[in-house]
Copies of this chain bind each other. A is one copy, B any other.
Amino acid sequence: MNKITELFRIRYPLIQAGMIWCSGWELASAVSNAGGLGLIGSGSMYPDILREHIRKCKSATNKPFGVNLPLIYPQMEEIAQIVIEEGVKIVFTSAGNPKKWTGHFQEHGIKVAHVIANVKFALKCEDAGVDAVVAEGFEAGGHNGIEETTSMALIPMVREAIQLPLIAAGGIASGRGMMAAMALGADGVQIGSRFVASEESSAHEMFKKCVVTVKDGDTALTLKKLIPVRLIKNDFYLRVKEIEDGGASREELMELLGRGRAKLGMFEGDTQEGELEIGQIAGLIHEIKPAAEIMDEILREFEAVRLQLSGMRF
């Protein structure tokens, strides 16, 4: 038992990130059934779709699961209502101020973890009384902090600053990464990219194939004048880079981005014109597998590394 397994009443301190277009009820329930914490990624769901996913998840597992809620969601009030009505017990909030929603959810018996990318917001989480903090490094896929602090630097700094249960995210896809996060001071890990390339992920098959073939250096944090986002370097990215290098304004970038590119890439499988959000650690992911096998592999490597490190005396 540790702080995270106790808090969420799960067997392993391993959380599957709630990701747009990739993590619906199938993935979340598979991870929860395997002893981790599965999260439904609400960021790409209309309210009705989210309700459906929560219901299906409840039928697919009797283990704890959660919902990831980006607080910039336009229908946040409605979404919060659905989460409460459906009896969800855990939410992971991101992209906003933790003070706004934490108390409301907790009054309804919901545990709240909040995602941050710097020490300042980690302290705000403590003030807001969240139950756990997710510290996400620069190497993570998708939307990311402007400070560009990596997991290796961020986790020990957040650990030093706050006492709350701490979940490390960004750059973790293996038992080695999980152990490194624990060494840095985390109580648990949140893993995204590895589960994109799972059988239960709702990512398009073409996107999954990209994930298992990309190497180090094939992703970049881009669109920094809008909201920074880590993407695979495809044709769309190269066009963004070209105009960014030429000094493009926010407006020009918004025009090039247009609407629906994340769905186009990750859900509809247009791997050149869509946004393909994935972490740097995709370079370590080589095979699409069932979520339970992924969990098992990570946890077995974690145990092997533990034994190795325990003999490391100088």
Contacts and interface: CB of A to CB of B under 8 A. Distances in A.
B303 A221 contact: no
Contacts of A248: 247
B171 A150 contact: yes
A186 to B, nearest CB: 10
A184 interface: yes
A248 B220 CA distance: 20
Contacts of A260: none
Contact of A246 (B11, B139, B159, B247): B247
A172 B152 contact: yes
A217 interface: yes
Nearest to A174: B156
Contacts of A303: 313
A153 B314 contact: no
Contacts of A312: 2, 182, 306
Nearest to A283: B157
A279 B159 CA distance: 18
A306 B305 CA distance: 11
Contacts of A32: none
Interface in A237-277: 245-248
Q: Which size class do A's interface residues fall under?
A: 35 or more
Count of chain copies: 2
A127 interface: no
Question: Taking each of A13, A139, A284, which has the highest tally of chain B beta carbons within 10 Å of its own beta carbon?
Answer: A139
A148 B148 CA distance: 10
Of A170, A176, A284, A313, most B-chain CB atoms within 10 Å: A176
A107 interface: no
Interface string A162-197: 000000001110101101111111000000000000
B150 A182 contact: no
B314 A283 contact: no
Interface in A137-164: 137-139, 146-154, 156-157, 159-160
A310 interface: yes
A117 to B, nearest CB: 9
Interface in A1-42: 2, 5, 11-13
Contact of A180 (B138, B149, B180, B246): B180
Given A157-B284, A180-B183, 6 more contacts: A13-B314, A139-B150, A153-B216, A153-B281, A176-B183, A246-B247
